[in-house]
């Protein structure tokens, strides 16, 4: 476990650590020499050009890919809630908001059609409240706006009890208003989760991020996101 001692209190320092990671799709290595930290309880932004390797890093972090080289260290007892770039379910299917969020509480070993316990229902309600969708519990997900749908997916990840929430371009296909709301939501969620967000909207994301990782075949860590913004202004490729 990765602890630092601060004023006699044990404080968890890093939620995730990538050490010298390389990942290749067949013969083509998407990322290499990747070294960075995700500080516990903070918001970390992954930014960089299209094809630079953000989604690859997110899939490595979420355990979907195994690295060809290096080590990924996740803090003890932590699990990752992954929010994909597209939707993780058929959003045209008339299932309700509450039903989708409840699936987040399911243990992988549990059959999906069993009855939910009171505790699971409470978790789902709490998650729905956190993302500001109270009153929409019984609405079909096929009757939601793009921004509301994103918040349903985030609520499902929150209901899963994962300590680390990882989102790949959650702002894609949203209008400006919904995008702003999403960033406000992510900023508020910092209080309860460690958050990692890949985004190409650097103005919004670097404003709310505590830590930034520039991803372009390899990574550069900026514990001051404003410093990265300056570099990008000076012409570093995005």
Query: 144 or 236, CB closer to ligand ADP?
Result: 236
Residues that bind ligand ADP (CB under 6 A): 25, 28, 30, 48, 50-56
Stretch that binds Mg ion, among 46-54, 70-78, 131-139, 148-156 (CB under 5 A): 46-54
Pick one of ligand ADP, Mg ion, none as the site partner of residue 94 (Cβ within 5 to 8 A by kind).
none
Please state, in angstroms and rounded to a whole number, the distance separating the CA atoms of residues 215 and 202.
Answer: 13
Q: How far is the CB of 199 from ligand ADP (least distance, A)?
A: 10
Stretch that binds Mg ion, among 55-63, 112-120, 138-146, 200-208 (CB under 5 A): 55-63
Q: How far is the CB of 101 from Mg ion (least distance, A)?
A: 25
Query: 78 or 172, CB closer to ligand ADP?
Result: 172
Interhelix angle 146-159/176-189, nearest 10 degrees:
20
Pick one of ligand ADP, Mg ion, none as the site partner of residue 50 (Cβ within 5 to 8 A by kind).
ligand ADP
Under the criterion CB under 5 A, does residue 55 sit at the interface with Mg ion? yes
232 within 8 A of 203, measured Cβ to Cβ: no
39 within 8 A of 14, measured Cβ to Cβ: yes
Q: How far is the CB of 181 from ligand ADP (least distance, A)?
A: 23
Q: What is the distance of C-alpha 168 from the center of its chain?
A: 6
Supply the DSSP string of 79-135, one letter for each residue. -EEEE-SS-SS-TTS--BHHHHHHHTT--TTS-TTSPPPHHHHHHHHHHHHHTT-TT
């Amino acid at each position: 476990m990765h602890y630092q001692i601060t004023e006699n209190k044990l404080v968890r320092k890093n939620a995730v650590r990538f050490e010298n990671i390389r990942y290749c799709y067949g013969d083509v290595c998407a990322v290499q020499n990747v070294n960075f930290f995700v500080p516990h309880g903070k918001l970390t932004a992954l930014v960089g050009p299209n094809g630079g390797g953000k989604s690859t890093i997110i899939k490595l972090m979420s355990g979907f890919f195994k690295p060809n080289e290096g080590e990924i260290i996740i803090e003890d007892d932590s699990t990752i809630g992954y929010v994909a770039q597209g939707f993780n379910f058929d959003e045209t299917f008339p299932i309700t908001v509450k039903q989708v969020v409840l699936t987040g509480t399911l243990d992988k070993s549990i059959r999906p059609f069993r009855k939910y316990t009171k505790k699971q229902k409470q978790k789902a309600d709490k998650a729905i409240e956190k993302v500001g969708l109270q009153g929409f519990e019984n609405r079909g997900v096929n009757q939601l706006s793009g921004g509301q749908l994103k918040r349903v997916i985030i609520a499902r990840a929150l209901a899963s009890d994962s300590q680390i929430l990882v989102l790949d371009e959650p702002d894609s296909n949203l209008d400006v208003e919904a995008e702003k709301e999403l960033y406000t939501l992510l900023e508020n969620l910092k209080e309860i989760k460690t958050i990692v967000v890949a985004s190409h909207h650097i103005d919004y994301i670097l404003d709310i991020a505590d830590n930034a990782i520039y991803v372009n075949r390899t990574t550069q860590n900026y514990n001051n996101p404003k410093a990265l913004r300056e570099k990008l202004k000076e012409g570093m490729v995005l």
